[in-house]
């Protein structure tokens, strides 16, 4: 019951927005912009012919490949930069120069290097989600409370034990924040890349629906589906925050 009460305000706001959207379209007499019901019927059309699942699968595959590659590089690199001052002083200026560059600006370079296949969006996802994870992981190491390290020194633990049982657990909350940010950026980037360089995925679905007879019902359907999948991906990442291994460093309030 408590959970239902928590989501009621969100449901009410969304319902109000849908009602206003419907009323505005009907009142304006628009023959191009769809009503909510037309979006629903357009979505059912995509489901029935299997097009929707094909595009969702293509987008998720690209995001999964690029994001996992970024995780595999960013987390160890962030730990190293946070722990070794020389690595931080050497590499941090480079990453701070590259980090503000919009992922969209990398699209021409990605197409030049990798062509118009799957490799281009995977590279864009990798490069866009890499930097948030490096920055957050490095910051996490820098903010470890010294008393944890002093306690480890008092017990004369090995470097491996120090890293596996003190440093990494202490940094996990920051790692997960970086992964959440990186995954959100990755999902945004893959949609943009699919609008420009590919012939599959939700981004392509939107641009193709616009070009093929002004099917704005499918355009809006694609946008809503992108938002819902983004919400689910973020929710999946938030589940990691509830793990006991992650929560030990901070007090948790329900």
- The backbone region for 214, taken as left when phi is positive above 0, alpha when psi lies in -120 to 50, beta otherwise, is left
Pair 171, 55: CB distance under 8 Å: no
* 111-132 average pLDDT score: 89
Banded pLDDT at 251 (limits 50, 70, 90): very low
Q: What's the Cα-to-Cα distance from 61 to each of 67, 129, 138, 185, 215, rounded to whole Å? A: 10, 15, 28, 15, 26
In the structure encoding, which two tokens stand for residue 239, read together?
Answer: 């589940």
Stated pTM of the model: 0.83
% residues pLDDT > 90 (the chain): 36
In the structure encoding, which two tokens stand for residue 203, read together?
Answer: 């981004």
Decide which of 145 and 87 is more confident: 87
pLDDT by residue (tens digit) across 43-65? Answer: 999 999 888 999 999 999 999 99
Please say if the pLDDT value at position 240 is more than 60. Answer: yes
* 106-120 average pLDDT score: 86
Banded pLDDT at 254 (limits 50, 70, 90): very low
Average pLDDT over the chain reads 85
* 207-222 average pLDDT score: 86
% residues pLDDT > 70 (the chain): 90
* 167-188 average pLDDT score: 87
Distance (Å, whole) CA 101 – CA 123? 15
* 101-109 average pLDDT score: 86
DSSP 83: H
DSSP 35: P
């Amino acid at each position: 019951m408590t959970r239902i009460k928590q989501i009621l305000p969100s449901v009410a706001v969304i319902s109000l927005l849908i009602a206003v959207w419907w009323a505005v379209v009907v009142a304006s007499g628009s023959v191009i912009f769809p009503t909510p019901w037309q979006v629903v019927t357009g979505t059912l059309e995509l489901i029935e012919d299997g097009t929707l699942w094909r595009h969702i699968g293509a987008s998720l595959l690209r995001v999964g490949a690029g994001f996992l590659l970024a995780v595999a590089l960013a987390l160890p690199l962030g730990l190293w930069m946070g722990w070794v001052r020389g690595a931080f002083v050497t590499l941090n200026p480079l990453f701070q120069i590259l980090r503000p560059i919009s992922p969209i600006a990398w699209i021409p370079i990605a197409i030049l290097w990798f062509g118009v296949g799957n490799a281009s969006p995977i590279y864009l996802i990798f490069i866009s989600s890499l930097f948030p994870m490096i920055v957050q992981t490095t910051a996490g190491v820098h903010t470890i409370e010294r008393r944890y390290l002093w306690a480890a020194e008092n017990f004369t633990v090995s470097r491996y034990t120090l890293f596996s049982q003190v440093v990494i657990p202490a940094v996990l909350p920051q790692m997960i924040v970086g992964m959440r940010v990186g995954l959100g950026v990755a999902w945004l980037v893959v949609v943009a890349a699919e609008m420009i360089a590919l012939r599959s995925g939700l981004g392509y679905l939107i641009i193709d629906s616009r070009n093929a007879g002004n099917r704005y019902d499918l355009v809006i359907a694609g946008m809503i589906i992108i938002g819902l999948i983004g919400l689910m991906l973020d929710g999946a990442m938030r589940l990691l925050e509830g793990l006991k291994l992650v929560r030990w460093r901070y007090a948790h309030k329900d």
